[in-house]
């Protein structure tokens, strides 16, 4: 139980999240927020601001941070596009469609 409590504390405290996760964690969060369906609850914008402040304070190399997060955002966006391209057609026209055309228009 303490593990989950500690993890929740780290996920809700952006400063601790940035320090704990480092470059891989930042890239994973940006990728998840831009590309995966479960990323909408992640603190992406505030995380980017905090990562920039940490880079200014010397905790991160700003050049590596910029390059890494741009690549993570592009890959996440591309992944989200392909998920929508493959799953969206099945969702809209499958056996039990999620939305009918009459409910959208």
Band (pLDDT 50/70/90 cuts) for residue 47 is: confident
| pTM of the entire predicted model | 0.68
Q: Is residue 92 part of a domain?
A: no
Q: What is the pLDDT of residues 21-45, one digit of tens each?
A: 789 988 988 888 888 877 666 777 7
Place of tokens 């940006």: 30
Name the domain count of the chain.
1
Q: Name the CA radius of gyration of the chain, rounded.
A: 18
The DSSP secondary structure of the chain, one letter per residue, reads -HHHHHHHHHHH-HHHHHHHHHHHHHHHHHHHHHHSTTGGGS-HHHHHHHHHHHHHTTSS-HHHHHHHHHHHHHHHHHHHHHHHHHHHHHHHHSSS-SS-HHHH-
Answer positive or negative: Cα dihedral of 26, 30, 33, 35: negative
Q: Is there a domain that residue 26 lies in?
A: yes
What domain range is 11 assigned to? 2-80
* 63 within a domain of the structure (yes/no): yes
Segment 54-97, tens digit of pLDDT: 889 888 899 999 999 999 999 999 998 888 887 777 766 666 65
Q: How far apart are CA 17 and CA 47, in angstroms?
A: 8
In a domain, 17, yes or no: yes
**Structure confidence at residue 71 (pLDDT):** 95
């Amino acid at each position: 139980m303490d593990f989950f409590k500690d993890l929740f504390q780290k996920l809700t405290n952006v400063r601790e999240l940035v320090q704990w996760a480092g470059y891989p964690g930042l890239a994973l969060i940006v990728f998840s927020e831009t590309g995966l369906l479960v990323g909408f609850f992640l603190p992406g914008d505030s995380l980017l601001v905090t990562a920039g402040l940490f880079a200014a304070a010397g905790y991160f190399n700003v050049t590596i941070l910029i390059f890494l997060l741009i690549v993570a955002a592009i890959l996440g966006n591309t992944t989200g596009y392909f998920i929508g391209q493959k799953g969206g057609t099945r969702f809209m026209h499958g056996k039990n469609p999620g939305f009918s055309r009459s409910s959208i228009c």
